Amino acid sequence: MSALPDTASPLYEKVKDYILSNIGTGKWSKDSKLPSENEFVAALGVSRMTVHRALRELTSAGFLIRLQGVGTFIAPPKPQSTLIEINNIAAEIVARGNRHRSEVLVLEKITPTKELSLSFEFAKRAAIYHSVVVNFENDLPVQLEERFVNPILIPDYDKQDFSKTATYDYLMQRTPVTEVEHIISAVPADAEKARHLAIDVGACCLLLHRRTWTGAVVATISKLTYVGSRYSLGSRYSPSRKT
């Protein structure tokens, strides 16, 4: 006899459903721990690997928390946070019905500073690509993008024509991003930025600092400077019921 439903779905899915519905009905309280894998094995008559897979998937979906050596617990409700979406600037400008153009100021291979090498999590000081591009909306400069790119992942970055293809598009198609770090701050423009963006020194700019990873490897580091008076980052987002 088994407590599992008699459907066509695979066994580990039935186990997941069984556990989820019993969480829903409060069979196991929020504080006490769930049965151990071996107890599930005895109760449901399936192998431990199958129970383990069900529990692992429920854990990665955010329903459970498992502590090795301790047990399995019901996860507390999700932390309160809101998400904001950041889009490709070229696509945004075009979507607004405006003209987008970019000017490549720098595209080179450099030896990174010690600090930059550290940001790339390099053990040794290895060469990296460096690009500086200004993005225009209707011939008005709105963003200065400085990128550092890991040549291990994108070996031919310096051979591209980024006045035609946006750097962002090129990178996204080249390498899968597994993790992103963002830091947004507001800074006054220094002399160089002021010159390239045609604004006064000290004018307010939005600085978006971004690091992307592919697996354990840092793929790119970007510093995107938006002219505060001409550009803002916007998004409308529906938080979905995802884990």
Partner DNA sequence: ACGCGGGAAAAGTATATACATGTATGTATA
Partner DNA sequence: TATACATACATGTATATACTTTTCCCGCGT
Residues that bind DNA (CB under 7 A): 10-12, 34, 36-39, 45-50, 52, 55-56, 59, 66-72
Interaction of residue 94 with its own copies, rule CB under 8 A: no
Q: How far apart are the first and last CA of the chain?
A: 32
Give me the least distance between CB of 153 and its own copies, in Å please: 5
Tokens of 57: 């998937």
Nearest 5°: the CA angle 204, 208, 211 is 160
Q: What is the dihedral of CA 17, 20, 22, 24, to 10 degrees?
A: -130
Comparison of 22 and 98: residue with beta carbon closer to DNA: 22
Pattern 181-220, binding to its own copies, x per CB under 8 A? xxxxxxxx-------------x-xxx---x---xxxx-x-
Q: CA–CA separation, 198 vs 242, rounded Å?
A: 43
Which lies closer to DNA via its Cβ, residue 34 or residue 149?
A: 34
Q: Given the complex with DNA, which of 1 and 191 has the nearer CB atom? A: 1
Matching residue, tokens 């793929």: 219
Contact (CB, 8 A) for 133 and 141: no
Minimum gap (Å) between residue 43 Cβ and its own copies: 18
Q: Is 10 in the site for its own copies (CB under 8 A)?
A: no
State yes or no: residue 48 binds its own copies (CB under 8 A): no
Alpha-carbon distance 116 to 221, whole Å? Answer: 9
- Any idea how long the chain is? 243
CA distance 242 to 159: 40
Closest CA to 222 of 140, 122, 116, 142: 116
Type of residue at 45? G
Binding site partner of 218, from its own copies, DNA, none, Cβ cut-off 5-8 A by kind: none
Per CB under 8 A, does 158 bind its own copies?
A: no
CB 2 within 8 A of CB 45: yes
Give whichever of 72 and 143 is closer to DNA, judged by the CB atom.
Answer: 72
Partner residues linked to 149 by β-bridges: 129, 220
Q: Which stretch binds its own copies (CB under 8 A): 17-25, 100-108, 113-121, 190-198?
A: 17-25
CB of 236 to DNA, least distance (A): 21
Query: Residue 31 Cβ, how far from DNA at the closest point, in Å?
Result: 14
Contact residues for its own copies (CB under 8 A)? 16-17, 20-21, 23-26, 61, 63, 77-88, 91, 152-155, 168-169, 172-188, 202, 204-206, 210, 214-217, 219, 226, 228, 231-240, 242-243
